[in-house]
């Protein structure tokens, strides 16, 4: 495997890593790795030292220069736009299926609209039970036993 291919794969791993880590940082470091891959492929950076220098400079310039511009687009506008609040009507009163046991002080998992959610309840609920959403605390649903 050539150094250009290795740098390309490193960049790909970093860019994909952005999907599992918040912050919009890894994507720009990944772009720095891709830039090194390109310069190495062109023959401009033959030594490891020159590759590392280009990687460090490119990653910093991209991170500092572009992160502010792209962060709202990549993370959504909920923190920058006060009108973009979550509509609680979409959640409150809707049924969920309990996936893992819930009880007072013990969080569990529920399924809502086909997605898994962390939930807490003052009722004891077993997997397979149906509950109703009563509120939302960040990404944690507050649920109670369906009457």
Q: Where are the domains of the chain?
A: 3-75, 88-145
- Per the CB < 8 A criterion, the answer to whether 34 and 55 are in contact is no
pLDDT digits (tens, 9 = 90+) for 79-104: 444 444 456 677 889 999 999 999 88
pLDDT digits (tens, 9 = 90+) for 10-67: 999 999 998 888 777 898 999 999 999 999 999 999 999 999 999 999 999 998 888 7
The whole-number pLDDT of residue 75 equals 55
The whole-number pLDDT of residue 74 equals 56
- DSSP β-ladder status, 130-137 and 115-121: unpaired
Per DSSP, 130 falls in state E
Compute the distance between CA of residue 91 and CA of residue 45 in angstroms, rounded to an integer.
54
What is this structure's pTM? Answer: 0.50
Q: Which fold has domain 88-145?
A: OB fold (Dihydrolipoamide Acetyltransferase, E2P) (2.40.50)
**Helix boundaries (H) for the chain:** 3-17, 26-42, 48-75
The whole-number pLDDT of residue 80 equals 45
């Amino acid at each position: 495997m050539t150094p250009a291919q290795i740098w390309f794969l490193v960049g790909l791993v970093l860019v994909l890593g952005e999907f599992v880590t918040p912050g919009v940082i890894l994507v720009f470091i990944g772009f720095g790795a891709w830039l090194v891959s390109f310069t190495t492929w062109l023959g401009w950076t033959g030594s490891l030292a020159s590759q590392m220098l280009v990687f460090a400079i490119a990653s910093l310039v991209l991170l500092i220069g572009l992160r502010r511009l792209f962060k709202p687009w990549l993370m959504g506008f909920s923190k920058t736009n006060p009108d973009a609040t979550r509509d609680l009507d979409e959640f409150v009163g809707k049924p969920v299926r309990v996936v893992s046991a819930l009880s007072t002080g013990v969080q569990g998992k529920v399924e809502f609209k086909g997605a898994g959610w962390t939930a807490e309840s003052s009722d004891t609920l077993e997997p397979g039970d149906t509950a109703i959403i009563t509120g939302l605390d960040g990404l944690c649903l507050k649920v109670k036993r369906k009457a």
